[in-house]
Homo-oligomer: A and B are copies of this chain.
Amino acid sequence: MSDASDLTNRALGGDRRALARLLTLIENQGAGADEALARLYPQTGGAHVVGVTGAPGCGKSTLVNQIALETRRQGQTVGIVAVDPSSPFSGGALLGDRIRMRDLAGDEGIFIRSMASRGSLGGLARATGDVVKVLDAAGFDVVLVETVGAGQSEVDIAGSAHTTLVVQAPGMGDDIQAIKAGIMEIADIFVVNKADQPGADATVMLLQTMQRLGRDEPRTDRRHHGTRTLAAKTPPAESGWVTPIIQTVSTSGEGIPELVAAVRSHWEYLNCSGLLRAREEARVAREFELLLRERLLRDLLGRVAPGYLEQTVARVAAREVDPYSAVREFIRAGCQEVPA
């Protein structure tokens, strides 16, 4: 039996150290990673995946810890995936983990994984999806995915959750900027954290106003974008759910039980309304597109002659050829080789 498949068996059997090693293997796309993912895929689909996103400084990490603790109190197990644009000083993710461990240590029902940013566009989204699948297959009831908001890739990651929490804090940025952040429309639940600070009521009112405005506009559900082909498969408007606005103080735990109750209501709503299936298909469609892109590029680069890529790039940089023609030429060259 290969290392990866042995690791997979042990991880699915509840061995935490094996789980951690399997996640590292998969994050790094090491030998046997694809096979391990293929093997555990049939075991997925049981977890409630909850995305938590918001701008830096809104208190997301503490909030996620509190949600985890409250969810545990109610008897469910929790996986946490903290997606972290990589720190220049590389210790960033580890530091976050250590602060977390202090609060959540010693509970076998909680597993925490921090992810640093992958190099390439889409790489982080793919890796996060893979890690979520592993935790899902390992049997965690709830998987919390924490992302730093505002960016497109973070919206993409958060948007692939079943339930998305958008966290705001009073007085952060000005109002137009908040509207611009583009994360409003993916919210299933709004959280106004630091609700004991001045300006919390104003933030709640702003969100209410935006909700009213939003209802008058045709809803474009960014959760379901992708290529034109895939985007056609958009589920019906989710008119049955009114996004609640919940105030919390994550440092004291105020509002956390209400928030966890809202998260659970949304899960019940998705299950009862049949929307879960639609969201799942949209999520799979998007993930499939990501995988296709990665695999196509990898295959092509594996087929062209060594140095050909560098030569082509140098010619484009020197303006000897435009990038659009160069791409066509490059693909043609790759296709003349025999596929592996």
The chain A residues found within 8 Å of chain B, CB to CB, are 34, 37-39, 41-42, 44-45, 55-58, 84-90, 92, 95-96, 117, 119-122, 124-125, 148-156, 172-174, 176-185, 210, 213-214, 217, 220, 222, 225-227, 229-231, 233, 277, 280-281, 284-285, 287-293, 295-301, 309-310, 312-314, 316-317, 319, 322-328, 330-331, 335, 339
Q: How many Å lie between the Cα of A124 and that of B58 in the bound state?
A: 26
Q: How many Å lie between the Cα of A217 and that of B122 in the bound state?
A: 27
Question: Which 4 A/B pairs are nearest by Cβ-Cβ distance?
Answer: A151-B151, A57-B173, A85-B182, A119-B225
- Please tell me if the beta carbons of A287 and B323 are within 8 angstroms of each other in the complex: yes
A interface majority secondary structure: helix
For A186, the closest partner residue in chain B by CB is: B88
Chain B residues in 8 Å Cβ range of A148: 150-151, 177, 180-181
Q: A177-B56, A179-B87, A281-B314 are in contact. Are A301 and B227 (CB under 8 A)?
A: yes
For A294, the closest partner residue in chain B by CB is: B293
- Please tell me if the beta carbons of A180 and B227 are within 8 angstroms of each other in the complex: no
19 pairs, A vs B, C-beta closer than 8 Å: A34-B324, A37-B322, A56-B172, A88-B179, A88-B182, A90-B217, A92-B180, A119-B231, A120-B226, A121-B153, A122-B122, A148-B150, A148-B181, A152-B154, A172-B173, A277-B317, A288-B313, A292-B331, A295-B328
- Please tell me if the beta carbons of B323 and A57 are within 8 angstroms of each other in the complex: no
Chain B residues in 8 Å Cβ range of A227: 120, 297-298, 301
- Please tell me if the beta carbons of B92 and A179 are within 8 angstroms of each other in the complex: yes
Centre residue among A177, A217, A324 by max chain B CB count within 10 A: A324
Chain B residues in 8 Å Cβ range of A124: 152
Given A90-B217, A227-B298, A291-B327, 15 more pairs with CB closer than 8 A = A41-B323, A56-B181, A57-B177, A84-B182, A86-B182, A89-B210, A96-B176, A117-B152, A120-B227, A120-B289, A229-B301, A284-B316, A293-B296, A295-B331, A296-B297
Q: How many Å lie between the Cα of A227 and that of B45 in the bound state?
A: 31
Q: Smallest CB–CB gap between A67 and chain B, Å?
A: 19
Chain B residues in 8 Å Cβ range of A86: 182, 222
Q: Smallest CB–CB gap between A143 and chain B, Å?
A: 17
Chain B residues in 8 Å Cβ range of A182: 84-88, 92, 117
Q: How many Å lie between the Cα of A284 and that of B201 in the bound state?
A: 48
Chain B residues in 8 Å Cβ range of A314: 281
